[in-house]
Structure 1
């Protein structure tokens, strides 16, 4: 099996870009259904404004060039090509750190965080560790190979990531992620605790389930009821993609407007403290992520975590691990910390950090600062 690491550069054919613009221009628009705002989904007028910007205001070539400023590579692990960014720090004692993106996201999630992590001095930060950053694309996402068989799991991806770090010559390193990455990062520690210094996640541990209710106080039961209302709001993509991922992928693969509408539905739900996603995440940043799904044709293959990877019987929260220290960007309530500490050695649980779900896209400086604070506790 080849272990070669091959340079990679994004170069979308102009014919693909022309095809995208043609499809956007020929979109068939549905009339706005009765009702206000987002109650029945992405409003038609709102979506049309996004599509107009995508056609005439968004410059893919400029963003493609920006992405190509990051050193990128491909290597074959477990029979599958893995695409990754590898940005080394100028600091000689930098800690290697692997960042795993979420869904429906891509390596673009971290493009604004990489600079503050690799070269903090250039951003006015003089304390805390710097990092050699590795950002792989999860199998089935953008430029990594699509799974060719069933049976994929976060544990399998975690083992691929530990092999990637070994292949890059890193013996001790950190693991970080949010959303899907919050499953994979702890699984890396389980797979290779002798190599993982610590696990930092954006959130996702300590959420109660029905099994925890008997041991709750009255106040905690009230808190759990509020959590249930929040968790059952919006479109349940776990159930939708577990039931019929192929069915929905046909539309998303064929129509960029359908794909954009789906992405905006989810990004709107993932930014509950904002009126609309672009209030907290730059519109072009979101469109770059959407473009990568479109150009690589991976909107279907990227759904594998929902239909088989995040629990045998449906959605389940990350199981956690107690082999190495854990830090959390957005910890949550005392109830959540108590439950998180059953399965994790939590040493970092701050309160008041800003941001919604994809904090690396929204508040990259705050995200990088919290990562430095956690790993600064673990390394000299």
Structure 2
């Protein structure tokens, strides 16, 4: 298994095609005064599409993305894309960070320089990391799975092989949010001897065989809030987990539709007080959207929900992950578990209540997240971590 350097280079015909499609958007009607109550607001979507068509410069973004070291490696029958940046310090700690949906590896790019070169950002070079940012199978420049049953568990196994067999790291740290949190937890459950520690910003609510009589008041409130949120906001997840292919025809054919499906989540799940551009510029939003468009991966990314819903067993009550764990709780994260809920399955060593930020923590508050990662892994670092030079 040999990794190969990879350069992002999208064919001009694809870029010309998206421009033509953006010129022919057939806009839906909208109830007067709807704002965002019914979903993506038409006025904002018109503004975003106009910027996309007339101002957004994919080639400039492509050049910015290509400043990092990209690779692809064949694992089983899939080419997996990842960024690998070596830390600038005396003993960098290898750290694999996994994104979620509707994000991508570009979510982590503000965080990346803070982790690989802390001294250049007011930190201690002793806290440097070698950072690995993979694209989930079916996302971005990783291959789309062609067989059924690829779940967080199979992805965790791919990540172990990437880190150990391909990159030569016998021990490493891991972190993530959203789907990345689920992959990271499975990695810790399956390979506790490999993981030095894991850092999470999101925690799911799925536990089987749980006696409700044994829950604290805070846990009961949490599960009630999860249920309430799911009824109000979770239609996307239910659709992904039941009929992703039907929606895929529309989103893979209409860039405006794809943008609406994704941007609405960046607004709803971030600490932006209803103004999405308080947290994300149009260029940031569109770069992430374009990653789905140019690779035609919206369908395969949604299928991961389907596969996890059918083929991934929830953690059993009493099943405990023994890898040292940190949890950073951002106030606008889409679920807010109490500490005792996290301690049911995690060996929790650090719990941080963040002052601001939401679901897209690495984009919204990279400095806060970087400092929490440094502080958690600092006492876990060893002096016998080895790495393979690329």
1:310-349 → structure 2 map (5 Å cutoff): 310=309, 312=311, 321-330=320-329, 336-349=338-351
User: Which residue of structure 1 lines up, in the alignment, with residue 357 of structure 2?
Assistant: 355
Aligned position for 1:46: 44
1:244 and 1:205, CA in 2 relative to 1: closer, same or farther beyond 3 A? closer
Residue 226 to residue 142, structure 1, CA distance change in 2 (3 Å): closer
Instruction: Report the equivalent of 2:132.
Output: 134
Aligned residues of 2:268 and 2:274 also touching (Cα < 8 A): no
Report the equivalent of 1:260: 259
Query: Gaps spanning 5+ residues in structure 1: where?
Result: none
1:233–1:16 CA distance, 2 compared to 1 (3 A): same
Alignment of 1:230 onto 2:240 = no
Q: Deviations over 1:163-214 (max 9, x none)?
A: 0011111111101110000001111122222211001111215688994542
Aligned-pair CA distance for 1:42: 1.0
Match of 2:368 among 366, 369, 372: 366
Unaligned runs of 5+ in 2: 383-390
What SS does the aligned partner of 1:69 have?
Answer: coil
Determine the C-alpha separation between the residues in 2 that align with 1:154 and 1:77. Answer: 15
Q: Partners of 1:58 and 1:331 in 2: how far apart? A: 30
Q: Write out aligned runs for 1:127-206 (5 A).
A: 129-166=127-164, 167-205=166-204
**Which position in structure 1 is the counterpart of 2:305?**
306
Q: Does 1:91 align with 2:89?
A: yes
Aligned residues: 377
What does residue 75 of structure 1 align with?
Answer: 73
TM-score (normalised: structure 1): 0.92
Q: CA deviation at 1:72?
A: 0.5
Equivalent pair of 1:207/1:339 in contact (CA under 8 Å): no
- In structure 2, how many angstroms separate the alpha carbons of the residues matched to 1:65 and 1:295? 15
Classify the secondary structure of the residue corresponding to 2:338: helix
Is the CA contact (8 Å cut-off) linking 2:330 and 2:357 kept in structure 1? no
TM-score, structure 2 as length reference: 0.90
Alignment counterpart, residue 110 of structure 1, candidates 108, 111, 116: 108
Are the counterparts in 2 of residues 331 and 337 from structure 1 also a CA contact under 8 Å? no
C-alpha RMSD of the superposition: 2.5
